[in-house]
Amino acid sequence: MASSVLSVAASHSASLPLHETTIKGKIKIGRNGLRFSQSSGRISMVAAVNVSRFEGIPMAPPDPILGVSEAFRADTSDVKLNLGVGAYRTEELQPYVLNVVKKAENLMLERGENKEYLPIEGLAAFNKATAELLLGADNPAIKQQRVATVQGLSGTGSLRLGAAFIERYFPEAKVLISNPTWGNHKNIFNDARVPWSEYRYYDPKTVGLDFEGMIEDIKSAPEGTFVLLHGCAHNPTGIDPTPEQWEKIADVIQQKNHFPFFDVAYQGFASGSLDEDAASVRLFVSRGMEVFVAQSYSKNLGLYAERVGAINVISSSPESAVRVKSQLKRLARPMYSNPPVHGARIVANIVGDPTLFGEWKAEMEMMAGRIKTVRQALYDSISSKDKSGKDWSFILKQIGMFSFTGLNKNQSDNMTNKWHIYMTKDGRISLAGLSLAKSEYLADAIIDSYHNVS
């Protein structure tokens, strides 16, 4: 007589819902979740377990910048201050929608403009306006049709499109990135599979520019390297080269036959002047160099959520510009197909209307002016309170919405844990999130963290 054997085993395979009783072939799943099967006189009882096929996927680390805002929101302190994310705030520390943006949007409603798909390259009026803002309407490169402009998904998306172009058509090239730089730059080139290395930029001894190190590293890079440059208001340091230093940087890049790749995220927002903040890019273009430029309108028009920007490639001939644009469009098509229209129309309406354009420049000057005012107030407060003799003048030498305080990670942690001031761990603070009323409190926190935390 054949003997019967009962065995119990665990299975990681997916099962039907455990409350159902179902018979499929010779397999029966009971209400207790056990699976029974019988074959050749052998009975097996198997525990059915629902386990995701994503079990092996690790948790991603929090974004170093956006994670600051999440921690800030969870803090219940009345004195908390968010100086992490680079977004403009009013003196009351509230988000600000430019009045000129509201007017441009009202115009769009009055015209009853539709929501049809844009072409892959974006809104023609926007592309024209953005190239002219960047280079100047009378620039020979524009008149000679040597500029390929494609509307992108703000600065990040425009950089990503440029990185994809490099990976496909310059597969042996590397990118040289400043140390330090905006946290997302490395992610963008990593995901585009474009290798990168760093050039010296920040000198912790002077809390200033390591110009000699920068030049040395650009000189030693292989010919044809893409050198990523911040057009103005370097993020995170707020330290920009002088006009004379920009000339020398251009000399070296031209001599080495490198590609300059500018990230222009703050045109008009740094100094209050569109022309002044575009001077570095225009210098390189005036020398006849072929240049990549990624633009963003998040800061200077407050269009953070509209994701409006552009990638521009200034070429040496109109024929090559046409080819470059065709391939940028080809790359964009499988990425996101075509860009959003709302923010592009806002930009085009403002730049295309002399009255609105004038109002925009006035509001930019106001925003840039408020940041300069709180920067001065912070310096004055620290200088009057700190009796150690430390030179804090670097705060005034920096430009734009950020200040690189020189605080290390432990000191930055103290700013958050003790003072409820949220900032990135590299010591960067966004002065756009500071008010005059809070400047003394911030000064006290910086002094305490600098002198009392190693």
Average pLDDT (30-45) is 54
Contacts of 92 (CB under 8 A, 6+ apart): 435
Cβ neighbours around 346 below 10 Å, total: 26
* Closest to 292 (Cα-Cα) out of 172, 165, 123, 168: 165
Catalytic-residue membership of 182: yes
What string of DSSP letters covers 314-331?
E-SSHHHHHHHHHHHHHH
Q: Does the pLDDT value for residue 268 go beyond 90?
A: yes
Q: Which two tokens stand for residue 283?
A: 């210098």
Q: Point out the catalytic residue in the list 182, 196, 360, 392.
A: 182
Over pLDDT 70: what percentage of the chain? 89
Check if the beta carbon of residue 147 is closer than 8 Å to that of residue 128: no
d(CA 80, CA 99): 28
Which pLDDT score, from 0 to 100, does residue 37 have? 54
Residue 204 to residues 229, 306, 400, 406, Cα–Cα distance (Å)? 20, 36, 19, 7
Check if the beta carbon of residue 167 is closer than 8 Å to that of residue 192: yes
Which pLDDT score, from 0 to 100, does residue 49 have? 67
pLDDT digit string (tens) for 388-439? 999 999 999 999 999 999 899 999 999 999 999 999 888 999 999 999 999 9
For the entire predicted model, the pTM comes to: 0.85
Average pLDDT (103-113) is 93
Which pLDDT score, from 0 to 100, does residue 66 have? 73
pLDDT digit string (tens) for 337-373? 999 999 999 999 999 999 999 999 999 999 999 999 9
Q: For residues 423 and 41, which has the higher predicted lDDT (pLDDT)?
A: 423
Which pLDDT score, from 0 to 100, does residue 11 have? 41
Q: Does the pLDDT value for residue 155 go beyond 70?
A: yes
Single-letter code of the amino acid located at 300? N
Which pLDDT score, from 0 to 100, does residue 154 have? 96
pLDDT digit string (tens) for 173-203? 999 999 999 989 999 999 999 999 999 999 9
How does the average pLDDT of the chain come out, rounded?
90
Average pLDDT (127-146) is 97
Q: Point out the catalytic residue in the list 210, 240, 263, 277.
A: 263
d(CA 28, CA 35): 6
Which pLDDT score, from 0 to 100, does residue 64 have? 73
The separation between the first and the last C-alpha atoms of the chain, rounded to the nearest angstrom, is 82
How far from the centroid of its chain's Cα atoms is residue 48's Cα?
A: 46
Average pLDDT (118-131) is 97
Which pLDDT score, from 0 to 100, does residue 70 have? 84
Which pLDDT score, from 0 to 100, does residue 35 have? 53
* Closest to 439 (Cα-Cα) out of 391, 397, 388, 385: 385
| Residues β-bridged to residue 177 | 198
| Residues β-bridged to residue 152 | 309
d(CA 431, CA 372): 9
Q: Does the pLDDT value for residue 290 go beyond 50?
A: yes
Which pLDDT score, from 0 to 100, does residue 71 have? 87
Catalytic-residue membership of 103: no
Taking only Cα atoms into account, the Rg of the chain, rounded to an integer number of angstroms, comes to 28
Which pLDDT score, from 0 to 100, does residue 50 have? 84
Q: Point out the catalytic residue in the list 210, 240, 299, 325.
A: 299
d(CA 379, CA 400): 15
Strands 259-264 and 291-296: parallel
Catalytic-residue membership of 263: yes
Check if the beta carbon of residue 433 is closer than 8 Å to that of residue 85: yes
Average pLDDT (302-331) is 97
For residue 258, what is the DSSP state?
P
Strands 402-404 and 428-430: antiparallel
For residue 313, the surrounding DSSP H or E stretch is: strand 308-314
Q: Does the pLDDT value for residue 234 go beyond 60?
A: yes
Average pLDDT (203-218) is 95
Q: Does the pLDDT value for residue 100 go beyond 90?
A: yes
Check if the beta carbon of residue 229 is closer than 8 Å to that of residue 261: yes
For residue 116, what is the DSSP state?
P
> Three-state SS for 254?
helix
